[in-house]
Amino acid sequence: MELIGEGWTGEAAEGAPDVPVRREHLVVVGNGMAGCRAVEELLARDPLRYRVTIFGAEPHVNYNRIMLSPVLAGEKTFDEIVINGHDWYRDNRIELISSDPIVAIDREARIVASRSGRTLGYDKLLIATGSDPFIIPVPGKDLPGVISFRDMSDVDAMLAAAGKGGDAVVIGGGLLGLEAAHGLSLRGMKVTVIHLMPTLMERQLDEAAGWLLKSALEARGQTILTGADTAEILGTDAVEGVRLKDGTVIPASIVVMAVGIRPSTALARAAGLAVGRGIQVDDHMVTSDANVLAVGECVEHAGLVYGLVAPLWEMCRALADGLVDKHSGYRGSVTSTKLKVSGIDVFSAGDFSGGDGAEDIVLRDASRGVYKRLVVRNDRIVGAVLYGDTGDGSWYFDLLRKQEDVSQLREMLIFGQAFASGGGQADPKAAVAALSGDAEICGCNGVSKGQVVACIDKGACSLDAVRAGCKASASCGSCTGLVETLLAVTLGDAVQAGPKTMCKCTSFGHDDVRREIVAQGMRSIPEVMQMLHWSTPDGCSSCRPALNYYLLCALPGDYKDDQQSRFVNERMHANIQKDGTYSVVPRMWGGITSPRELRAIADVVEKFEAPMVKVTGGQRLDIFGIKKEDLPAVWADLNAAGMVSGHAYGKSLRTVKTCVGSEWCRFGTQDSTGLGVQIERMTWGSWMPHKFKIAVSGCPRNCAEATIKDFGVVCVDSGYELSVGGNGGIKVRATDFLCKVATEAEAMHYCAAFVQLYREEARYLERTAPWIERVGVDYIKARIADDAEGRDALAARFLFSQSFSQEDPWAERVADDARQHAHMAEFRPEGAMA
């Protein structure tokens, strides 16, 4: 029957008198994806139960906000991303009031008021206001040309800017920020992405996948700056650029803010509804008012706020059930994200932070740009990250969501559903044994299974022997597991153990890693882990500091020191003590000090109430009992007096111990104090495989104990005797004599060459004593004393690296480290839902 009047219809229940029946009026605030999907679900259950009116802030019908990026990129038109056209509203008798958002709710009278002054009563009110973009509060944020990326009007603004060409800056390396950058880049703009965190899309991706994504985007011509903090947006009448807190200025005619979103709660809060991070709802999506419901990004359920599509759809189904008295209830969501970020496949699900009881299964295929990581706890998948190949994402997510026991699939799980389903319960040795003889084992070198087996049959009993015999596993190392399994299948217990690997994360040893870093030109920790097929996502406390050091040594000036890969003492420039406080050791060149330095130390001791100051064995003062939060201020005060870190905590030069030498001592033959100061000023600040100590004694009486130091100088009448490899620790080792030189300049030159040889060839955490015992003192003499050209090259490389490390940033670095641990809890990064 026809519509008779507002809220009435002639449709009657079966068997009831044919009289008009009043329909309840549902008013929906928000014409976006969540609000309209809720109406769709309601219509599917009972199309005649409610009369529906939808208020929208935009002038458009309901469209897919997720597809704004393809519109920006020119891959789709607006009409192609429309979800519900005008015919849908008409056919379902839905009144759409567009370009007129609701601005007030009178809950007692059950009336809403719009911006134009229209008022309308409701029986049930559904709030689906979504999220608001977070605009970082920096100077210039209100300049023309600063826009967000949330709706079609933002896309229109970006298209207009792109039509003029020029530079664009996108602040935020989440999904929307990267999509905005991709679209603007395709439109011909030069794009720079600024991201505060060190990893792109850090909520969806771990460090390894984030590095792959960054590398891929940079290869497409974008500039990606991670760990970058915006200070201000420059311009007078319009945007002209962005200045970072480190002083970098980036030109821009448009700045896109895509740093995060906040639930849009202002309307609900003004109406007196319960609001936390979002509008608080129960399992039926009902707010603190029984006649008001809410759904989508604007809501908070059980303390959680969701920004992904799947949870919103689950909410809409529960809401529609409640409106027709089914009351199925919403129980929260386990989320997964399968996206195509700028044409790159990415998938993540669950918790990939790891932690106690969790283990990682990792597959890296550098040549294909594929990275897969599964986090397993108690034989259940709890998290997954896939990059480059997301075909099995749905299967992994189903196993995660159902909490299936994967112990029987464990060995084959990372290879995907087809592989695991076919052989997941088989013995991995049997699977390898079943391979045909012509099956490829090592793709890098084109080695088949038959060739590996033939190599083993000829006497190769270890991994190194196979590598030497047929080159299998000798390049990228990704087939190491297969080769080791073939060894085990062929030889059983006769397999010989190879050299110790760097750690449990890799099959490579320290020397292999160092060689490959240089040979392949690797420039970051994630790149090393990807290219060398690390078996863990982010490494461990053993390999990360080592990789950080190896990259620092290989790329002086080009590699940015990763502070989070350092031990806490090195990060804080202080020694942590058993009570949780720190000791601070400022440097005293050659053990010499001055009234100014002593005054500065005394002032720090009094100002920060340090309970003890002690003279160290390295001829300087150690300030004990400093609180962690006071370290930046302590170093600021010491820096102001010209004092830098003594590195009493670091894998670096510790001290240069001296005696007073010829200037004061009647036995002194040379100016040992002056030489010691020169050597210390030359070598301080250099990171090394382990701690490094130097001493210069003014005569053979050796008061500075030069013959138990890593590098020792003993002055004699005719010159300087140099020795290396001493250790005065638990295992005392006297130095090996290196050579004798005639001048101070030569002593310093030989010292620089020896330090650089140690830096380049020793393994991380290997002192000079065991290193020399491993390679032999004759090798050291051949490289330093006997090879003048090689010695000069080593010394030159050392001095070059020192030109980048001998800065004085200790107070700033400690303060930066403290800032990096601060959490930005006020907003959440962009999810998959626009």
CB 268 within 8 A of CB 298: yes
Closest listed residue to residue 265, CA positions, set 150, 136, 126, 127 = 127
Strands (E), 526-586: 575-576, 582-584
- The answer to whether 476 is annotated as binding is no
d(CA 265, CA 269): 6
- For residue 692, the cross-strand partners are 653
Structure tokens at 255: 């700045």
Structure tokens at 629: 């939060």
- The answer to whether 699 is annotated as binding is yes
- The answer to whether 703 is annotated as binding is yes
226: Cβ contacts below 8 Å, ≥ 6 apart: 173, 195, 197, 198, 199, 200, 214
Q: Which residue's entry shows tokens 């001296």?
A: 658
Other beta carbons within 10 Å of 358 = 15
The β-bridge relationship of strands 254-257 and 146-148 is parallel
- The answer to whether 470 is annotated as binding is no
CB 93 within 8 A of CB 49: no
d(CA 94, CA 84): 11
- For residue 384, the cross-strand partners are 349, 374
Q: How far is CA 301 from CA 201, 296, 306, 319, 616, in A?
A: 24, 10, 9, 13, 58
CB 559 within 8 A of CB 552: yes
CB 60 within 8 A of CB 36: no
d(CA 383, CA 385): 7
Integer distance in angstroms from the first to the last C-alpha of the chain? 40
Structure tokens at 235: 């311009």
Q: Which helix (H) or strand (E) holds 736?
A: strand 736-741
Quickly count helices (H) and strands (E) in the chain: 26, 41
SS (H, E, C) 747-766: HHHHHHHHHHHHHHHCCCCC
Binding-site residue ranges: 659, 665, 699, 703
Binding-site residue ranges for siroheme: 703
Binding-site residue ranges for [4Fe-4S] cluster: 659, 665, 699, 703
